[in-house]
Amino acid sequence: MITLGYVAYIYRIGQMGVSPGEPLPFRLKGVIFYARHVFIPLMILALICQASRMESRRLMGFGWVLLALHGVSDTLLRGSRISILLCALLVVFLYASGGVKIRRKEILVLAVIASGAIFLFPIVTDYRILQYQTNSVFFENIVNAFNFANKDVWAVLKSGIYSVYTRIPGLETAWAVSSLIDHPLGPRLAEIIRTPFGVTGYLNFNIYQVSAEAYTLFAPGFVGWFYLAGGWAGLAIGGVALALLCVWLPRWIYSGRLLWPQLANTFLLWVLFISLTDGALDNNFLLFATGLASLTALEFFERAMKPGVSA
């Protein structure tokens, strides 16, 4: 985690509001990004899940610390507003999937972390802008972003709550696109998906008229993505597909074929959360593929270590 974080900082990998610089050979920037974004948190969750199986509170506490450090480092390195909140949600997802038992004091810690993450939403937005506008190191920019917040803490908190309220259900995009577009993409959807930014780029550059050099882009959200794709009919199709996916996949995961069903279901909930809030469905293929490859490798490793279990 430390090594990949350092490399990501030096080569500006995945940093929001910062020019990505020169590409590395063999698509190493993409490999490092998805290793940090998907592989590392999944392995930390596997550690926590295994610690719960062993009933080792010390090992589980070590996993909590690693997950928290990952969320904080991802926020600092990438300027991501959701990283810390997502780490808290991953623990909730793991608990909901039956992979870990949480005591009352751990619930309190999760609540504090989630509240802090909501408070940090507008602060990280300012930090991202500073990263875009200045050449200062990220420590200086995060301090300056906190200095802005000290002027009115209550206003910052309200702004964070509003941002989460509109971002997570995708309400802001739904309101905007339903009033700004005359016709959904329809047959043009396949053409738009093949562009570098996909439907997200179409939303920002064609509908919102955001500059291509802007420090951030707006997420379409699940509702906005399917409305852009096919209007109200597309939204209905997307909703039915989502419902079928949420019914069938967990049944298959817990059918007894997997050795890590709790972790697999946690990843499913993670992908659903990202898809609903971010909505970059056509650009999240590599995220899903990395997670699937990580879980497959974990399954093979577990089966290889257990005599009598077929790989």
Number of domains in the chain: 2
Same domain, 94 and 177: no
What is the reported pLDDT for 155?
Answer: 83
Over range 199-206, report the average pLDDT.
Answer: 89
In single-letter form, the type of residue at position 170 comes to G
pLDDT of residue 308: 62
Domain edge (last residue) among 130, 150, 167: 167
Tokens of 125: 């937005």
In this prediction the pTM is 0.88
Instruction: Provide the CA 267 distance to its chain's centre, in angstroms.
Output: 11
Same domain, 45 and 156: yes
Average confidence (pLDDT) over 210-222: 79
| Mean predicted confidence (pLDDT) in 133-160 | 76
Res. 48: pLDDT tops 90: yes
Q: Assess whether 144 and 177 both reside in one domain.
A: no
Whether the per-residue pLDDT at 282 is higher than 90: the answer is no
Is residue 295 scored above 80 in pLDDT?
yes
| 141 and 229 both lie in a single domain | no
pLDDT-derived band at 178 (thresholds 50, 70, 90) equals confident
Could you tell me which residue, 17 or 270, shows the higher pLDDT? 270
Q: Of 26-40, 124-138, 197-211, 216-230, which one has max mean pLDDT? A: 26-40
Can you give the pLDDT at residue 46? 95
Same-domain check for residues 53 and 96: yes
Q: What confidence score (pLDDT) does residue 18 get?
A: 67
Statement: residue 172 has pLDDT above 90? no
> Between residues 64 and 17, which one has the greater pLDDT?
64
pLDDT of residue 169: 66
- Domain end: 112, 146, 167, which one? 167
Q: How far is CA 284 from CA 36, 203, 250, in A?
A: 15, 16, 20
Domain span holding position 273: 169-311
174 in the same domain as 101 = no
Quick one: pLDDT at residue 132? 72
Q: Do 154 and 177 fall into the same domain?
A: no
Q: Which pLDDT score, from 0 to 100, does residue 32 have? A: 93
Tens digit of each residue's pLDDT (9 = 90 or more) over 102-124: 888 888 988 999 888 888 888 88
